[in-house]
Amino acid sequence: MSEIRIGIIIGSTRPGRVGDQVAKWVLDQASTRTDAEFELVDLNDFALPHLDEAVPASMGQYANAHTKAWARKVDSFDGYIFVTPEYNHSTSGALKNAIDFVYGEWNNKAAGLVSYGSAGGTRAAEHLRLILGELQVADVRQQVSFSLMTDFENYSVFTPAEYHAGMLATQLDQLIPWAGALAQVRDLTVAKAA
């Protein structure tokens, strides 16, 4: 089996965001492992407008170049770590919009959730779990949550407590085997369709 690829998706496009700091920390921690390959995926690099595809994503008939580029990127991974802020008890609109652009490319993959906010972003992560379920993404139990009050200096400089590294290691220990197992499910699905 080829190496497991995990995309670490920065779920905020807000100017002055802190999500990129969190995602880089996740990448630094994850890169010490040898059981998967990790890549940062910044939604800012895809410049997705508000959903502008006329045909539902579940049909897989993407018309726009930006959608096709995003679909290729999403499809290139076996699993994901979503780094999500919490805005109004939910994930960011930018992340929800990006998720909604494609469908089949998410199916039968695994995901871990890393959240941040005034309450650790836990409500955003719980909402995101519901969305991922609809996309046939298996989210793992271990979550990593960062508080704006204690894990950021002046709410803007990421200074995570040391214990978070252990929580992320547990998440990766759950995520990587699931990502590998679901690759076999995807292979079976393709074989049945042929």
Domain count, the chain: 1
Residue 93: CB atoms within 10 A of its CB come to 14
Buried b (16+ CB within 10 A) or exposed e, 167-182: bbbbbbebbbbbbbeb
- Give pLDDT tens digits along the chain (194 positions): 459 999 999 999 999 999 999 999 999 999 999 999 999 999 999 999 999 999 999 999 999 999 999 999 999 999 999 999 999 999 999 999 999 999 999 999 999 999 999 999 999 999 999 999 999 999 999 999 999 999 999 999 999 999 999 999 999 999 999 999 999 999 888 777 77
Return the CATH number at 75: 3.40.50.360
Are 151 and 119 in contact by the 8 Å Cβ rule? The answer is no
Global pTM reads 0.96
Handedness of CA 129, 134, 137, 141 (dihedral sign): positive
Which domain, by its residues, includes 170? 5-193
Q: What is the pLDDT of residue 1?
A: 40
Are 78 and 8 in contact by the 8 Å Cβ rule? The answer is no
- DSSP assignment of 37-99, as one string? EEEEEEGGGT---S---SS-GGG----SHHHHHHHHHHHT-SEEEEEEE-BTTB--HHHHHHH
Are 75 and 62 in contact by the 8 Å Cβ rule? The answer is no
